[in-house]
């Protein structure tokens, strides 16, 4: 008896059907929140087309946007991310590094403790070939906002000069002042807070 032909003909149809099912189950996109190298808290809001959303605010939280427009939340681990995306992670540029230097009250003079930290910071800055450095000056809330704007820039420029004296290229070192706008410790006006009298060196 001659074997029927339809079983062989149905194989491609079955494969196409399975691929269609699998494709329908695959999320349109997936977002995984990775931790910051310096431990800072971060968050991202992932919105779907159906009006749903998920806020990711914990390291390795995952949001999957489904084809229906819904957004599902899950949790993964550092090991799982490394296994799945290790090759991609290896292509990342070095993370941003931040260092904080403190100043004497009302001046652009580093405290003795910060002067002692500076050599170690310089070593790490030199390890970033071609990297940019941004020096951001800050003040506490003693004095007027206008005077603090000037003082914060003076602090940033003082640190920049120290970096240039160590051979860093001027075009790669930027100095900016933030005044009293971004305190580490929020205070009332005219409160002397040493932790707010600072300059941040950002290596990127």
Identify the H or E element spanning 57: none
Question: Which of 77-86, 107-116, 132-141 is predicted with the least confidence, judged by mean pLDDT?
Answer: 77-86
CATH number given to 97-203: 3.30.1330.60
Does residue 21 surpass a pLDDT of 70?
no
pTM value is 0.59
With CA atoms as reference, report the closest residue to 202 among 171, 164, 174.
174
Identify the H or E element spanning 53: strand 53-56
pLDDT category at 146 given cuts 50, 70, 90 is: very high
Sequence ranges of the domains in the chain: 28-89, 97-203
Question: Mean of the pLDDT values across residues 153-174?
Answer: 94
* Coil/strand/helix, residue 9: helix
Token code pair at residue 186: 């929020």
pLDDT category at 95 given cuts 50, 70, 90 is: low
Identify the H or E element spanning 153: helix 145-165
CA distance 131 to 172: 7
Query: Residue 6 carries which DSSP code?
Result: H
Token code pair at residue 10: 């149905």
For residue 106, count other CB atoms closer than 10 A to its CB: 15
């Amino acid at each position: 008896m001659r074997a029927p032909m339809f079983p062989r003909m149905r194989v491609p149809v079955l494969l196409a059907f399975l691929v269609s099912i699998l494709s329908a189950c695959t999320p349109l996109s997936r977002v995984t929140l990775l931790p910051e190298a310096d431990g800072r808290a971060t968050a991202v809001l992932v919105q779907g087309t159906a009006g749903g959303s998920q806020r990711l605010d914990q390291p390795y939280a995952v949001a999957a946007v489904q084809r229906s427009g819904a957004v599902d939340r899950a949790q993964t681990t550092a090991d799982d991310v490394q296994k799945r995306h290790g090759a991609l992670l290896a292509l990342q540029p070095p993370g941003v590094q931040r260092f904080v230097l403190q100043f004497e009250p009302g001046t652009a003079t580093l405290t003795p403790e910060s002067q002692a930290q500076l050599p170690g910071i310089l070593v790490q800055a030199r390890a970033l070939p071609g990297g940019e450095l941004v020096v951001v000056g800050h003040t506490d809330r003693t004095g007027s906002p206008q005077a603090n704007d000037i003082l914060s820039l003076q602090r940033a420029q003082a640190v920049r000069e120290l970096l240039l004296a160590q051979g860093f290229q001027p075009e790669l070192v930027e100095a900016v002042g933030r005044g009293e706008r971004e305190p580490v410790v929020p205070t009332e006006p005219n409160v002397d807070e040493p932790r707010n009298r600072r300059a941040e060196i950002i290596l990127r």
